[in-house]
Amino acid sequence: MFGMDQRLSGAAVCVRVRVCLFAVMLAMTAAFAMAQEPRVPYVPTPQEVVDRMLQMAKVGANDYLIDLGSGDGRIVVTAAKKHGARGFGVDINPTRVSEALDNARKAGVTDKAAFYQRDLFQTDLSQATVITMYLLPRVNMELRPKLLDLKPGTRIVSHDFSMDDWKPDAFVQLEVKEKYGSAPGQSDIYFWIVPAKVAGSWRWELPSGGKGGKPQPYTAMLSQTFQMVSGNASVNGRTAPLQNVKLQGEEISFSFTADLGAGPVKHDFKGKIDGESVSGSAALSGSRAQGQYDWNAVRSPRTASAMAHHAGQVQ
């Protein structure tokens, strides 16, 4: 009798285990199915908007364009056929990918344009000089940290949707005859240039009193929110606010006026950011100090961590 109960108990355990395994498999299948669902509904970008997007990004033969949510492939195909650019598009929907590949063949640009069924969040964007997208606002925001980590100078164009407080470098509105199928509507186009990360304390030297003068140490403390930069420069024991600061990709320029000991001197700087250094030119104009100089500055290692707060993201 005891043996019979033991066998029944063992059978019951096996049933329960099988039921649990079946439930786990169902849950995994459902999760996989949800992961494969498109996160953005497919609405094609009107061709006139495609043309304007590529125009705003100044796409050329030296560019590598990646289109996120590429649909029928019209952006990548147009970039290849009209501008000579190379690149690829990604879409989660295999039907769209097949359609895009067929359109590339018809346009004769398969040597320049490729398409992949792929999750856009798992796509390596490091090759891109231009990113195009027609996604939803929440998807743009999820992508934003990854986009801000791209090489400075990378151009990004979005149809209809912004990236919240990362203000565009350029913006246009178009009245489109066939926005939704045959229905007219308005299209917004947002354009950004990925800015270099410049926050922190920078140090350099320039001759005082003209060429051949004793090197004068300078420091500048920069704060940054996306491409917007502000700060102060210090020289000869005096501090002056930076003026006319412009950061576009890896190019930076600014000015300030400071007294070097013999009256005010206007300083104009422009240079190219390369990681922890910047090189360019400095122009000084004052009654006792004038001239054009090479400008080479380095960022203090103690303030490099300030880069982590660039554009509201934590690295």
Sorted by where each starts, the structural domains of the chain and their CATH numbers stand as 47-193 (3.40.50.150), 200-312 (2.40.128)
Q: Which residues pair with 286 in a beta bridge?
A: 265
- Of the pLDDT bands very low, low, confident and very high (cuts 50, 70, 90), residue 207 is confident
Question: What's the CA gap between 142 and 39, in Å, rounded?
Answer: 12
Q: What is the DSSP letter of 3?
A: H
pLDDT at 298 over 50: yes
Helix 94-107 and helix 74-83, axial crossing angle in degrees, nearest 10: 20
| 8 A C-beta contact, residue 97 and residue 116 | yes
pLDDT in tens, 158-183: 999 999 999 999 999 999 998 877 88
pLDDT in tens, 249-291: 999 999 999 988 778 999 999 999 999 999 999 999 987 778 8
pLDDT at 35 over 50: no
Give the strand order in the sheet containing 277-286: 238-241, 228-235, 215-225, 200-207, 291-299, 277-286, 264-274, 251-259, 243-248
Query: Looking at residue 210, what is its pLDDT?
Result: 59
pLDDT at 219 over 50: yes
| 8 A C-beta contact, residue 293 and residue 199 | no
Report, as an integer, the average pLDDT of 14-24. Answer: 39
- Of the pLDDT bands very low, low, confident and very high (cuts 50, 70, 90), residue 196 is very high
Report, as an integer, the average pLDDT of 88-102. Answer: 97
| 8 A C-beta contact, residue 248 and residue 255 | no
Question: What's the CA gap between 57 and 133, in Å, rounded?
Answer: 12
Q: What residue type is assigned to position 164 of the chain?
A: D
Q: Name residues whose C-beta falls within 8 Å of residue 184's C-beta, 6 or more positions apart in sequence.
A: 175, 176, 177, 178
pLDDT at 205 over 60: yes
Query: Looking at residue 8, what is its pLDDT?
Result: 38
Point out the least confidently predicted range of 24-28, 61-65, 159-163: 24-28
Kindly tell me the burial class for residue 256, based on how many C-beta atoms sit within 10 Å of its own C-beta (0-12, 13-18, 19 or more).
buried
- Of the pLDDT bands very low, low, confident and very high (cuts 50, 70, 90), residue 3 is very low
